[in-house]
Structure 1
Amino acid sequence: MAISIGIAKKDREQIGEQLSKLLADTYSLYLKTHSFHWNITGPHFNSLHTMFETQYTGLALAVDEVAERIRTLDLFAPGSYSQFGKLTSIKEEAGVPDWKDMVGQLVEGHEIAAHTSREVIKVADAAGDEGTVDMVTGRLKDHEKTAWMLRSLLK
């Protein structure tokens, strides 16, 4: 059955391209946060271990929400490391940095995801896709708040 939700195919495809970038950023940030949760050491171990767990749990839920929005638009969501690697703007961390660098990298990652979210909102808003605008506005607020909270640890 053909999709008929009031958004033209061309517009859905453009929105899907931007959502795929957000999905890749979100997944990359999830993976980095989870790795840092496992590998954190030092005097702030307990608080950062717990904070990172809360953050990666939220990101895991966000990955599903973004992917399902892509599917709602009748498009296929990327789902492999190679696809995400091509789409994300978040730098991979292959090592185990100290806690300050971990926090700094996560601040940067959330700020990148906020920028990506704003691009999705622009494209979706221009197409009259209120559903995507609403969902991504929530994601934007989460990324901005998390970046602020993490940035506050470094002052």
Structure 2
Amino acid sequence: MIALIQRVRQAKVEVAEEVTGQIGTGLLVLLGVERDDDDAKLKKLADKVIKYRIFSDADGKMNLNVQQAGGSLLVVSQFTLAADTEKGLRPSFSCAAHPSEAEVMYQRFVEYCRSQGMIVETGRFGADMQVSLTNDGPVTFNLKS
């Protein structure tokens, strides 16, 4: 499971010109699900996303996590994160989970984050989405479990 996280001042996702999720300060989480992912990997990655200290404290140092900073999450499924780009000029998606399995894991990730006290907005799994954001920093990290 892969999460590309971006610290944002605001982010939103639209499907067919309808806003499906929108946050202010927080993290945009682009989530890729791979074939061998399970609940243990899901929880480990979700905990890391929630507890990753990338928000500034009073001294301007990255010492606060998204909860401590009073932020929320916008979680968007993105199967292209599971692409194998090692060979050639076209990505292979052989490592990506089957869409039906990926959707279940995506929903479990969202629900787990909510169970940890996070406010979580979402995109729409499998839809053609337009994501806009103001990356704060810019600060972007690639997390994997």
Q: Per the shorter chain, which TM-score range?
A: under 0.3
More helix by share: 1
* TM-score, normalisation: structure 2: 0.27
* TM-score, normalisation: structure 1: 0.26
More strand by share: 2
Which structure is higher in RCO with an 8 Å CA cutoff and minimum separation 6? 2
